[in-house]
Structure 1
Amino acid sequence: MSSSKPYADGFDEDPENDVHGDCPECAGNIETDGGERACTDCGLVVDGHGLAYGNRPRWFDDGPDTRRTGAPLTPARHDSGLSSEIGRGSDANGRPLSKQKRRQIRRLRREHNRARFRSKAEQNLAFACGEIARIVGALDLKHDIREFASVLFRQAQSDDLLRGRSLEGFAAGSVFAACRCRGLPRSAREIAAVARCDENTVLNSYRVLNAELELATAVQTPRQLLPGLVSELDVDDVVRNRARELIEVAESEGVSNGRRPSGVAAAAIYLAGQEFGTEQTQAELADAADVSAVTIRERMYDLQEAL
C-alpha cells in the first residue's frame, strides 16, 4: 500500500503556493491543506473548497470526452436509463463487424430483449413510458412534461390504480395531468387526437389520478386559452388584441369567476369579431372551444353587461 499523501497534487491545490501570506487574525502563516486555506497558528479557515467526485467529462485540446460519464438517470424510462443497449453493425470505435460477429451480436440482442423485464408490471411500465414519450413528441411538449407524466404513471401503478383500466388511457391521462399541473393549456381533446384512446378515457383516467393522488393542478384562465383558439380559428390580429382586452375586462369585473375559461375566451373572440366585421359563427367557436353554443351566448351577455 502506498504511503504517499493522497491528493497531494490535486486539481484544487497548488503546491507552489502553499503559503498565502499572513492570517488576518493573528498574522500567522496561511497554508493550503486538503483544499482549505487555514492559519497554522490559530486555525482560522480563510478559504475552503473540496474535491469534486462527480462524473465530469475529461477535456482535451479537441474538446471534451464524455464517454465515461454515461446517460443521466431519468424516470421517463422503466429502468431509469440504467440498462444497456446492444448496438448494430459496428463496434465501439466505429469499425464494421464481421458476418460471424454480427450473428453473435444478433443472438445476444435477442436474449437481452427477452431478459429486460423481470415482471409483468415492469413490462407494462415500459409500454406506458413509450406511449407517454410518443404523445409528448406528437404534441411537441418539453422533456420535463414527459418525466412528470412518467412519475405520475409510476405512482398510479404502485397504488394499484391500473386494475381494470387500459394502459393507453392512463398514459394519456398522465400526460393531461402533467399539463394541468404545469399550467399548460392543452385540452383532453388535443391529447386524445394523438393518443390510442378517446377523449372520455383520457378524462376518466385524469379524474382517477386527480382524486387518488391529490394533484396540485393549476387553474386555467381565459387568457391562457386565447392563443390556442385564435390559432385554430385563424383570427386576425386586431380581433385577437380586442379579445384580449375583453378578457381583461371579464377578469377585472369578475365575469370569468366560476365560468368555464374556454367559454369566456370564445365569447370574447365572438364579440371582438362583431366589432371588426370578421364575425366567427357560434358553431365554429363552440367546436374549437369544446363548449356549447348556449355557453358562448351566455358568456357574451355577461361581457356585454360588464362593458
Structure 2
Amino acid sequence: MKQSFDRIRTWDSRSQAHSSVDKNLRQALSEMDKLKDKLSLTGAVIEKAAYIYRKAIEKKLVKGRSIQGLVAACVYAACRDTETPRTLGDVANGINIRRKDVARCYRLIFRELDLKVPVADPINGIPRIASSIGLGEKTKRKAVEILRKAKKIGVVAGKDPTGLAAAALYLACITEGGNKTQKEISEASGVTEVTIRNRCAGLRVFLEKQD
C-alpha cells in the first residue's frame, strides 16, 4: 500500500510544492488515505480515486469547492468503477460530510469528466451487509438466489444495487427464519427502510409469480 501511495504522490513531485494546486492535491491524497482505512478500501480503489481527482484538477473543478466533497465523490466513483460495494452514505460518513454534498459533487464529476461507470451487481453487496450484522451462509445463499432469479427477467434493471441487496437479505431472513429487522439491515447497508420496503415489494411480486 505504501508503494501505491508513493506512485500517486510522484505525480506532483517534479514541480514546486508551493502552488495552491499542489497543496490541494496533497490534502486530497491525505483525505483519501484516511478514507481507505475507514472504509477498508484497496489500493486499486484509491489509485483510481486519485486519478479521477487529477482529472478534476485539470478541468478546474476544484476551484471554489470543498476538497472533502470532491474527494468523497472521487472515492465513490472509484468504488463504482471497481465494483467495490460502498454506498454514498458509507463514503459520506467516512469523511464526515452530508450525503447530499457527496451526491452533488459526484454528479458534477460524472458529467464534466464524462465518467463511464459500470452497472454494479447487487449480488456483490450481499457479503458486506450480511457480515456486518452476523447473517449466516444460508441466509446469504438465499439472498443470492433471489437476486439471480430476479436478474434473469430484468427485475433489477435501473434499481440501486445496494437497495436490492438489502431487500433480498431481508426477504431471505423472513424465508429462512432470521431475526433481523428492516432497521438493522437499513443501518448495515446505508439505505433507508423506505427503500428496502419498496424493493421488497417489487421482489415479492416477482417471487409470487415464480411460485
What is the CA-CA distance between 1:78 and the residue it aligns to?
6.0
Count of matched residue positions in the alignment of Structure 1 and Structure 2: 205
Matched, 1:267 2:167: yes
What is the CA-CA distance between 1:75 and the residue it aligns to?
5.4
**In 2 relative to 1, CA 223–168 (structure 1 residues): closer, same or farther, beyond 3 Å?**
same
Matching residue of 1:296: 196
What is the CA-CA distance between 1:214 and the residue it aligns to?
0.8
Give secondary structure in 2 for the equivalent of 1:118: coil
Matching residue of 1:76: 8
Q: Any stretches of 5+ residues in structure 1 without a counterpart?
A: 1-70, 84-115
Give secondary structure in 2 for the equivalent of 1:163: coil
Q: CA RMSD in A?
A: 2.5
**Structure 1: 4+ residue segments shifted above 4 A:** 71-75, 78-83
What is the CA-CA distance between 1:198 and the residue it aligns to?
2.9
Task: Report the AA paired with residue 191 of structure 1.
Answer: V
Percent sequence identity is 32
What is the CA-CA distance between 1:211 and the residue it aligns to?
0.7
Contact 1:222 1:262 in 2 (8 A): yes
**In 2 relative to 1, CA 205–251 (structure 1 residues): closer, same or farther, beyond 3 Å?**
same
Task: Report the AA paired with residue 227 of structure 1.
Answer: P
For 2:5 and 2:149, how far apart are their aligned partners in 1?
47
What is the CA-CA distance between 1:74 and the residue it aligns to?
5.7
What is the CA-CA distance between 1:165 and the residue it aligns to?
0.9
Contact 1:73 1:82 in 2 (8 A): no
Matched, 1:284 2:149: no
More contact order relative to length (CA 8 Å, sep ≥ 6):
2
What is the CA-CA distance between 1:272 and the residue it aligns to?
1.5
Matching residue of 2:30: 130
What is the CA-CA distance between 1:262 and the residue it aligns to?
2.2
Give secondary structure in 2 for the equivalent of 1:240: helix
For 1:286 and 1:73, how far apart are their aligned partners in 2?
34
**In 2 relative to 1, CA 306–224 (structure 1 residues): closer, same or farther, beyond 3 Å?**
same
For 1:272 and 1:296, how far apart are their aligned partners in 2?
13
Task: Report the AA paired with residue 65 of structure 2.
Answer: R
Contact 2:166 2:196 in 1 (8 A): yes
Contact 2:72 2:95 in 1 (8 A): yes
Contact 1:264 1:296 in 2 (8 A): yes
Structure having the higher Rg: 1
Task: Report the AA paired with residue 76 of structure 1.
Answer: I
**In 2 relative to 1, CA 144–281 (structure 1 residues): closer, same or farther, beyond 3 Å?**
closer
1:3-22 matches, cutoff 5 A: none
What is the CA-CA distance between 1:121 and the residue it aligns to?
1.7
Deviations 1:117-154 (A, max 9, x none): 23222121221122222222333322232222122111
Q: Any stretches of 5+ residues in structure 2 without a counterpart?
A: none
Task: Flag the structure with higher helix content.
Answer: 2
- Find 2:156's aligned residue among 253, 256, 260: 256
TM-score (norm 2): 0.84
Task: Flag the structure with higher strand content.
Answer: 1
Matching residue of 1:194: 94
Task: Report the AA paired with residue 275 of structure 1.
Answer: T
1:177-256 matches, cutoff 5 A: 177-256=77-156
TM-score (norm 1): 0.60
Contact 2:4 2:47 in 1 (8 A): no
Contact 1:169 1:196 in 2 (8 A): no
Contact 1:78 1:129 in 2 (8 A): no
For 2:90 and 2:19, how far apart are their aligned partners in 1?
33
